Every structure is written in C-alpha cells, then in structure tokens.
Structure 1
Amino acid sequence: MSNLREALEKLRPPYAEELRNFVDREIDGVFKVKSKRLQETKDGKKFLLLTLEDRTGSVRAIDWYNAELNDQVLQPGNVVSVSGKVVYFEEKVQINILNSQSAVRKLTENEYDVERFVGSVKNVEELYKTLLRLVDKVRDNDYKEILKRFFVEDVSFAEAFKNAPAGMKIHHAYRGGLLEHSVNVAKIVESVCNIYDDLDKDLLITGALLHDIGKVKEYVINQKGIEVTTDGELMGHILMGVEMLSQKARGISYDKILRLKHLIASHHGEFEWGAPVLPKTPEALVLHFVENMDSKINRVFQIIDKEDREKEWSEYDSNLSRRFFLR
C-alpha cells in the first residue's frame, strides 16, 4: 500500500511551493489564475503574464506563443492545467509556457481536486473536544448556555464551524481554520486571566469562542477554493456574528449579551481594520490583542513553512510589511 501511495504521489502535479525542485524541467501543473496581464515588448511582441496559485503559494508564468488567445479565454478564478518549463528569472521561480495551444487549458470542476486549493486541519475532532472542554470551564450559567446553544445543540452550526476557514488568504485559510483560531484565542485568554485577576474569565472565553462565528456565513468552500458569500460581501462577519448572537439570546441577561456583542463588534480593534466600534472594556481590549496576535503568528509560520530553508530571509510579505529571518 505504501508503494502504491508513493507511486501516486510521484504522478501528482507539483504544487507551487515544490516548483523550485523542478528547475530546468518541464512540468504539467494545475493552478488557479490569480491575475493576468497582456503586455508588449519594445519590438511589438505580445506576451501574457500570469500569476498562478494553489494552496501552497503562487508562481509567475509567461506565455510567449498564444498570448492574445489565452488572454481572451482566461479569467481570474479559472482553474487551468499548464504545461511549461520551470526556470529561475530574476531570482524567482517562473513557468515558461510551452509553444502549444493545449499548453494552457481551462478545467471543469470534475477534472481536479479542490484540496489543491484548500488545505485542512488534521485534528479537527480533537480540536472540537478541546473547544467543548473550554465550554465546560465556563462557570457563569448564562455564558455557558449561550455556548451550548451554538456548539452542542445546533448540530448544523457545529459542523459548519468545524469546516470553515478563518480567512481567504491571510491567516488560518483552510478547512478547520476557524475552529483552530478560536480555540487558540480561547486558550490564550484563559492564560491571560490567570495573570490579571480582575478580568472576567467566563466572558473572555465565551467571547473568544464566538468572536468570529459570522465567518461560518462569510466564507464558502467550493471547487474554486475559498470564496466570500454574497452575505459576506454585503454584511461581513462582524455584523453577521452580532446578529447570530441575538438569535440565540432568548432568556439570557441583556447586560451579558451586550458585553458579548461588544466583544464581537470590537475585536478588530481599530476603525481602519474594520471594527465598527473600538474596544471599550478590558476584556474587549484583551480579545483584540490576542486574536490579532494569533492571526499574525499563524501568518508568520505559513510564510516560513513555504520558504526554502537554505535562504536566510523570506520574501517580503505585503500584509505584515516585512521579511522574516529563516535561520
């Protein structure tokens, strides 16, 4: 069985992060078109510059032979098969597309595996057990009741929460990412409360587990990968999260629901980061700092994991506005 698995692995099209192992070799790859730009050389020759991506990263590809044709055919978001030679250009891996009209071909949804574009947490069920243990630690009956309404009684929500990503690209952008992020944040705020006795631990654990619940409705995983839903575009996960909490609030103290709504509404921390209101309680401030830290640390480890460990520095990350030391 292991020999068969190894043989199938060798037949698999390489991921973007693996292309550095294929330099000066021809490959057949499967990628999603991130962007395209038809350009022209000084002597009038047109070429198509593509940015292709999968769940491991992105790569530049250039088509010198069928540039205008493929510019008309391809759109960002299309999943394509690409045949080309892997080279280094300006110290970056690039695919030079072969001279054939079939070298770039749009794929139908049944011609590729969506897992090429969406990774997943390996230990989803263990993570969910950890979440339920955190729920059990909450002593306040109202906060515990709210958590049970979401994570125990609402089975369809619980399943959606287990499988949802926490983002499209920046952090925890994979199946189970929302669960992983929420559990991480809850565990960290629990530790913070052990240092600062005046914090309301039950409120913070509850807010940590609920702060991103709107992402269950904001994102959908389909054959193109992770996409924003119409509700997500028009409302966003913060407003939807507050709305979802209101729908579960029957019989719960108004003051406690208000405090929870504030944690959800303010967790982005700043107006320019999408928060409709600034954190105005100690617990809201802690939640903002902790969830921001977890998202950024996840991003850093993603960057490091995708880099060639023989390098000293990572590529520049525009989201975090810096490179990272790899040694």
Structure 2
Amino acid sequence: MPVREFTDGLDLDEVLLVRSVDRLPRRDGGEYLKVVLGDRTGSVPAMIWDGAADALPLLTPGRPVRVIGRYGVHPRHGAQLTVRAIRTAVSGTYDLADICDGPALPLGRLVAELRALVAGVDHPHLRALLERIVGDDAPDWPRYRDAPAAKHLHHAYRHGLLEHSVTVAQGVAAMAGTFPGLDRDVAVAGTCQAG
C-alpha cells in the first residue's frame, strides 16, 4: 500500500525505502531510532523504541527494508509509524520503482511532452539542434533522459532532469507570449536542453 494511503490505526507489513536515521537518547540511558521511511508517494516518520541496536545495521539511507508496525496519527506528534520489526527486504517481493523517488508523470508521457515542445520550435536550426541533443537518436539522449536534475535538493532522482526541463520549458512556452520581444523558440530551446 502506498504511503499516501496509510490511515490511522493501519497495521502494515511493507517494503519501504530508508530516507534517514537518527539515533536519539532515551531517558533510561538507552537509545531509540527515529527513521524516515518512504516510497514514491511520500514519506513517514517511524519510531523504533525497542531493539534499536539490532535494527540499526539494516537502516542505511537509500536501502529498502521490510517494516512491520502500526501507522497512527497522534494528536501531539502527528502521523508516525511505530515499528515492531525491521527485516531485510527480500529481492523479488517489491518493485524498486515503487519505493524510489521519481517524476510525477510516467516516463513515456514526459518524453512525449518533450517531443511536443521540440516540434513546436519553428526555427529549423534550433529544432535541429534540439534533435541532436534530446532526439531519440542523439548519442547522449539516454544519459539526459535518465539523469537526476540535482544531487540533493530538487528532482534528485532518475529522470529528474527530464521532468525539470519539461516543466520549465512548458512554463516558458506559456509565458513567452506575454513578454514583447522575447523569442519563444530561443527560450524553449534553452530550457529544453539545459533544464
């Protein structure tokens, strides 16, 4: 079940991706773990009150783990998952594409929208240049298509550069008509190839 569909009181046994881990002190001198877990639909804080030392080796950011616990919405602390057990995620029991961050639109649609933007460039030399950079047969197209837009802050996932470039180019195309003297083709070409 996707994180965004979790409801108060839900018992779950899911494979989620570890986003971050914090070791925090308990009043009794021990420690507990506050972990952020997620999938492509969102993330949720998770508390591991018991067995922190045993769970810690499995909790590497970017690693999928099998999580058994209960999701709840606390009046004071908000939404969180109370973890009863953490297990190694067994290959074949999950699809990595479902738990890793990714673009909001499917890849095929992003590519189609990029192709429509390129086709809408009237200047033949600019359109030819774009085809050499982002066309289906362009040597660097696979790397461009799959690249993240950034390492950390925005669109930092596979196909992130493509998603960012398409959304910025669509905005530029829509706004180009409102600015006298702005060459729409140059503006769209600049954003399609550079993000």
Superposition TM-score tier, normalisation by shorter sequence = 0.7 to 0.9
Matches of 2:91 and 2:138, distance apart in 1: 29
Partner of 1:274: none
Structure 2, unpaired ranges of 5+: none
Question: 1:62: Cα distance to partner?
Answer: 1.9
Partner of 1:189: 172
Please show how residues 9-158 of structure 1 align to structure 2 within 5 Å: 14-19=1-6, 21=7, 23-89=8-74, 90-98=76-84, 103-116=85-98, 117-120=100-103, 122=105, 124-152=107-135, 154-155=137-138, 157-158=140-141
TM score, norm. by length of structure 1: 0.50
What code does the residue aligned with 1:16 have?
A: V
Moved over 6 A (4+): none
Aligned in 2, Cα 1:192/1:105: closer, same or farther, shift over 3 Å? Answer: same
Partner of 2:194: 211
Aligned in 2, Cα 1:186/1:26: closer, same or farther, shift over 3 Å? Answer: closer
Task: Report which of the two has the higher share of strand.
Answer: 2
Question: 1:39: Cα distance to partner?
Answer: 2.7
Partner of 1:179: 162
Does the aligned pair in 2 maintain the 1:74–1:106 contact within 8 Å?
no
Please show how residues 237-276 of structure 1 align to structure 2 within 5 Å: none
Question: 1:81: Cα distance to partner?
Answer: 0.5
Question: 1:138: Cα distance to partner?
Answer: 3.1
Superposed CA RMSD: 3.0
Does the aligned pair in 1 maintain the 2:65–2:89 contact within 8 Å?
yes
Please show how residues 158-173 of structure 1 align to structure 2 within 5 Å: 158-167=141-150, 171-172=154-155
Task: Report which of the two has the higher share of helix.
Answer: 1
Question: 1:97: Cα distance to partner?
Answer: 2.0
Matches of 2:59 and 2:107, distance apart in 1: 36
Aligned length: 193
Does the aligned pair in 1 maintain the 2:9–2:71 contact within 8 Å?
yes
TM score, norm. by length of structure 2: 0.77
Question: 1:113: Cα distance to partner?
Answer: 0.8
Partner of 2:184: 201
Matches of 2:179 and 2:49, distance apart in 1: 62
Question: 1:172: Cα distance to partner?
Answer: 4.8
Please show how residues 292-307 of structure 1 align to structure 2 within 5 Å: none
Does the aligned pair in 2 maintain the 1:48–1:68 contact within 8 Å?
no
Matches of 1:49 and 1:195, distance apart in 2: 49
Identity of aligned residues (%): 31
Higher relative CO (Cα under 8 Å, sequence separation at least 6) belongs to 2
SS of alignment partner, residue 195 of structure 1? coil
